[in-house]
Structure 1
Amino acid sequence: MPLPFLTADRAFGTSDDDVALPFDDHDRWRRPYRPGPWRVGAAALLLLLASFVLIAAMIIAFAGELPGAGVCLGLGLALIFASLRLLRMGVWVSRHGVRRVAFFSTATVPWNRVSAVRTVQQPVRWLGLPRTVQGQALVAVAQHGEALPLLTDHNADFLSRVEAFDRAADSVEAWGAEYRGA
């Protein structure tokens, strides 16, 4: 079963004729990079926990305690939803703009409101936790001067994967360069 939110449509750097925007349909929202091992591992652990909770719900239901089974079923479904949302997090691009999907929120900025997309050195959060370390961040600078952080080299997608961060930042910058003026 293909999961389009889990992988990029094409692996970057696999051939000599790679182009910056290797997609046919630029109107569709796409993540221009693959999710990192930390994000996929956390989602897999949540799904594993959800399977145990759903089995417990089934056992409780067979024992005749339907309210308890309902609570376990709700908790299992919440864990599945959380793991899918965790996999969906990241930066998505299309002809219409750039979208940063967080766990509880989504921010979309049209390309015509973005004055620049660039990589900057700054303190970044390590795996989304409050602890900050010095690192790189890809930011979209809006025309009124506000900077929207898109990616960091210490988030769950790029921790210890410097080359993947560079490819993803270059790809998002290429999308911005292509559609900012359009």
Structure 2
Amino acid sequence: MPLPFLTADRAFDEAVDDQALPFDDRDRWRRPYRPGPWRVSAAAILLLLASYVLFAAVIITVAGTLAAGAVCFGLALCIIAGALRLLRMGTWVSGRGLRKVSFLATRTTPWEQVASARTVQQPVRWLGLPRTLQGQALVLERKGRASEAVLPLMTSHDADFLARPDAFDRATDTVEAWAAEYTR
């Protein structure tokens, strides 16, 4: 079964420098990078845990009560949904705007509200944990909201780009190209 949200479109990797937006269908939401090994590893471990919980649900249903097995089965479904949501997290672009998908919420900003998207040096969170260190972040500045705190769309030390500086540079360049194209 293909999982389109797991891999980035090949066109992002194969695009030449003079063609930053290599798509005919620009209204489709796309992630301009592949999920990083930290994110994929965490999702794989969660799916492995879900398989054990599903196996336990079968054993509990056969040996015990149906209600306890159903609770176990529901827990496994929650773990699977969490793993899939973890894989879906990141920054997505389309002709309609810029989308930041986090674990519990999704925030979409139309291109009409975007003033700029740029890479800055700033303290960033390491793998989303409270520990901060100096790194790079792609920040989105919205029109008419200069006093609003600017949250980074992606950082050089998150689960997708830790120890992958070239992938971070390619992804930020692509998002900045989309922003430059649509905020003229």
Could you say which residue in structure 1 is the equivalent of 2:179? 176
Cα distance between partner residues in 2 of 1:122 and 1:10:
31
Could you say which residue in structure 1 is the equivalent of 2:73? 73
Which stretch of structure 1 is more off in the superposition, 151-160 or 107-116?
107-116
Q: 1:125 to 1:167 in 2, by over 3 A?
A: same
Structure 1 consecutive aligned stretches of length 4 or more whose deviation exceeds 3 Å: 11-18
Could you say which residue in structure 2 is the equivalent of 1:151? 154
TM-score, normalized by length of structure 2?
A: 0.94
Q: CA deviation at 1:66?
A: 1.2
**Match 1:166 to one of 138, 145, 169:** 169
Could you say which residue in structure 1 is the equivalent of 2:7? 7
Could you say which residue in structure 1 is the equivalent of 2:113? 113
Cα distance between partner residues in 1 of 2:52 and 2:128:
27
Contact 2:11 2:22 in 1 (8 A): no
**2:167 counterpart SS class:** helix
Could you say which residue in structure 1 is the equivalent of 2:47? 47
Cα distance between partner residues in 1 of 2:115 and 2:123:
22
Alignment of 1:116-155 (within 5 A): 116-143=116-143, 144-145=145-146, 146=148, 147-155=150-158
Contact 2:11 2:23 in 1 (8 A): no
Contact 2:57 2:70 in 1 (8 A): yes
Structure 1: any 5+ residue segments left out of the alignment? none
Cα distance between partner residues in 2 of 1:13 and 1:101:
21
Cα distance between partner residues in 2 of 1:18 and 1:57:
54
Count of aligned pairs: 181
Could you say which residue in structure 1 is the equivalent of 2:19? 19
Alignment of 1:26-45 (within 5 A): 26-45=26-45
Which stretch of structure 1 is more off in the superposition, 32-41 or 58-67?
58-67
Cα distance between partner residues in 1 of 2:64 and 2:118:
59
Q: CA deviation at 1:11?
A: 5.6
Cα distance between partner residues in 2 of 1:96 and 1:4:
19
Could you say which residue in structure 1 is the equivalent of 2:56? 56
TM-score, normalized by length of structure 1?
A: 0.95
CA deviations over 1:120-156 (Å, ceiling 9, x no partner): 0001000001111110000010112232310000000
> Amino acid of the residue matched to residue 178 of structure 1?
E
Identity of aligned residues (%): 67
Q: 1:17 to 1:107 in 2, by over 3 A?
A: closer
Structure 2: any 5+ residue segments left out of the alignment? none
Cα distance between partner residues in 2 of 1:4 and 1:84:
12
Cα distance between partner residues in 1 of 2:56 and 2:168:
40
